[in-house]
């Protein structure tokens, strides 16, 4: 068969989808500098495809410039075209970062944390999804049978994640029907968000090769089990010394980690519009689903918005410190990992800058995307993180998406989002 290698350059946009363009890999040396052409209104493509509203019209040129550290080149050795892609930054044609680049948003958050505290954040994405290539046998949550019945998918996924230079941590059969979960090892914030995107795409890529799907929609069926994206994170000095835990602190948190957590909880109702950014996200954030409903911090409690994770069999203080981490559970795969992690960090930084104390009582989370967008729009602080252009574009994108599906029943809504994610 006559074939020529192709490469794809893209970004995981505010619809939570990886979009970009491909070209012959022979062009890669030149494309490393200029990337691929893009336009402002691409940002406004909803997860359903159409641009429903845009402040940018049809004008303007941008480029997505590949980040060499994000290169994925995974050959499934089944005769299919290798997965060869780069994640990149959206830049203006003069090379400066575009106001609405999701990786620039996360980069600003990482910089803000460094400026406010001198600290760095390590993160790891734990992601749930439904694998369609397995029969649903009731009663088999976490079972060896459900683990086995997915066949080759788990091994292909694990190998693909590793071949993409991300370290797989675990793969398991989850609680819901046909639901599985994968976790990758922690890394510095930008690399961790890249890894979150890459792991998600490797699950889709492995499932595709088996003529199945990995469905990440936050709520694949109304009244079923939600697919969460849990972000584990910890704070570190530039030397690498972990500073999240302190044995005598509240729930074992160091003072700076407690302030960070207080900032996250303070801004959480508003940043739900970023971390849980679809109408179906709010079917997941309901009682009895092991998903959060209020902005709370709890010790080893999987119903909390922020969970202080356990430390397992640590020998001594330094091992305890190295393991100690928090888990942010108000996130799902409709969110771009760059945006979700960026918003989480910026909220935490505000907690550090204002030396916020942990709240006495938790605030409720919004019960719809529209309610979350109202809270986001009312927050001058969140607006300052985005800047005026990105803030308006983000709100218009998400409001147009919410209006587009406003009349659907819960069943139809879940079906539409399960097609997309």
Which residues here bind ligand GLU, judged by CB under 6 A?
A: 128, 225-226, 228, 284, 289-291, 302, 329
Residue 398: CB atoms within 10 Å: 25
332 binds Mg ion (CB under 5 A): no
Of 213 and 307, CB closest to Mg ion: 307
Find out whether 99 and 383 touch, Cβ atoms under 8 Å.
no
226 binds, among ligand GLU, Mg ion, none (CB under 5 to 8 A by kind): ligand GLU
DSSP state letter for 94: T
Stretch touching Mg ion by CB under 5 A, among 179-187, 209-217, 297-305, 335-343: 179-187
302 binds, among Mg ion, ligand GLU, none (CB under 5 to 8 A by kind): ligand GLU
Report residue 284 as tokens. 């997941």
Residue with tokens 């069999």: 313
The distance of closest approach from Cβ of residue 269 to Mg ion in the complex, given in angstroms and rounded to an integer, is 24
The distance of closest approach from Cβ of residue 154 to ligand GLU in the complex, given in angstroms and rounded to an integer, is 17
Report residue 306 as tokens. 């922020």
Of 99, 105, 27, nearest to 62 by C-alpha is 99
The distance of closest approach from Cβ of residue 146 to ligand GLU in the complex, given in angstroms and rounded to an integer, is 15
Of 89 and 327, CB closest to Mg ion: 327
Of 29 and 138, CB closest to ligand GLU: 138
Task: Give the integer Cα–Cα distance in Å for 386 and 394.
Answer: 9
Task: Give the integer Cα–Cα distance in Å for 307 and 325.
Answer: 9
Of 161 and 256, CB closest to Mg ion: 161
142 binds, among ligand GLU, Mg ion, none (CB under 5 to 8 A by kind): none
Of 71 and 327, CB closest to ligand GLU: 327
| List 13, 53, 67, 181, residue binding Mg ion (CB under 5 A) | 181
Residue 311: CB atoms within 10 Å: 16
12 Cβ neighbours under 8 A, 6+ residues apart:
18, 87, 102, 197, 336, 337, 338
Contact set with Mg ion (CB under 5 A): 181
């Amino acid at each position: 068969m006559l074939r020529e290698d192709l490469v794809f350059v893209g970004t995981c946009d505010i619809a939570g989808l990886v979009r970009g363009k491909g070209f012959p890999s022979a062009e890669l040396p030149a494309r490393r500098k200029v990337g691929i052409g893009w336009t402002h209104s691409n940002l406004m493509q909803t997860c359903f495809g159409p641009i429903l509203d845009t402040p940018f019209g049809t004008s303007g040129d941008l480029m997505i410039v590949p980040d060499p550290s994000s290169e994925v080149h995974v050959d499934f050795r089944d005769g299919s075209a290798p997965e060869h892609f780069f994640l990149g930054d959206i830049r203006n044609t003069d090379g400066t970062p575009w106001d609405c680049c999701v990786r620039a948003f996360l980069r600003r958050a990482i910089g803000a944390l460094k400026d406010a505290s001198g600290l760095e954040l390590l993160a790891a994405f734990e992601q749930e999804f439904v694998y369609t290539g397995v029969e649903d046998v009731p009663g088999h949550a976490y079972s060896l049978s459900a683990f086995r019945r997915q066949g080759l998918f788990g091994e292909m996924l694990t190998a693909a994640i590793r071949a993409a230079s991300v370290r797989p941590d675990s793969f398991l059969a989850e609680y819901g029907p046909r639901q599985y979960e994968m976790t990758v090892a922690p890394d510095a914030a930008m690399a961790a968000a890249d890894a979150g995107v890459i792991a998600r795409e490797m699950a889709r890529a492995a499932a595709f090769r088996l003529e199945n799907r990995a469905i990440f929609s936050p709520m694949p069926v109304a009244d079923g089990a939600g697919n969460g994206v849990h972000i584990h994170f910890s704070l570190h000095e530039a030397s690498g010394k972990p500073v999240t835990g302190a044995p005598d602190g509240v729930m074992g948190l160091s003072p700076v980690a407690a302030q960070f957590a207080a900032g996250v909880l303070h801004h959480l109702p508003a940043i739900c519009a970023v971390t849980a950014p679809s109408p179906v996200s709010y079917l997941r954030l309901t009682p009895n689903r092991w998903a959060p409903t209020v902005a709370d911090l709890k010790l080893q409690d999987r119903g909390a918005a922020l969970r202080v994770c356990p430390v397992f069999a640590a020998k001594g203080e330094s091992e305890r410190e190295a393991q100690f981490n928090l888990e942010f559970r108000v996130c799902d795969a409709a969110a771009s990992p760059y945006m979700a992690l960026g918003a989480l960090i910026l909220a935490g930084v505000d907690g550090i800058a204002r030396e916020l104390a942990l709240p006495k009582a938790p605030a409720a989370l919004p019960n719809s995307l529209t309610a979350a967008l109202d809270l986001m729009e009312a927050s001058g602080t969140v607006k300052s993180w985005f800047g005026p252009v990105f803030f308006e574009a983000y709100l218009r994108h998400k409001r147009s998406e919410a209006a587009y599906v406003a009349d659907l029943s819960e069943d139809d809504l879940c079906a539409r989002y399960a097609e997309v994610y």
